[in-house]
Structure 1
């Protein structure tokens, strides 16, 4: 009789463990999705804030070099 109850207990334990694993997997996937969305949003914000400043500096430098070369060739 004890072995029957033990087998039933093991079966219930296995079912509960499987359900817990499924719930943990779902929570892990949802967490990963939320973190990924947050990372993408932060990348977009950082590219807009810092990317425009960097590109502005680059074009400013290239204009500065362009004006120097035109001044140099005009003087010669």
Structure 2
């Protein structure tokens, strides 16, 4: 019984670590993660954090265009307020 509880706890911790790691990979791009997540939700882009963090390390051009798109979105929000 105790072994099963410890396994569950370690699985949850492992998932938590991976989530933090994926968010930190996205923060390496020197942008605000909250702004980026709101941008993704308003543009209806369906990608999870794991896929986005893999894009950071593998696809430079795709991430660059996402960042540029994000900055344009951010400036549009600033002008509206």
Common fold: TM-score over 0.5: no
TM-score (norm 1): 0.39
- Report which structure shows greater RCO (CA 8 Å, sep ≥6): 2
TM-score (norm 2): 0.37
Flag the structure with higher helix content.
Answer: 1
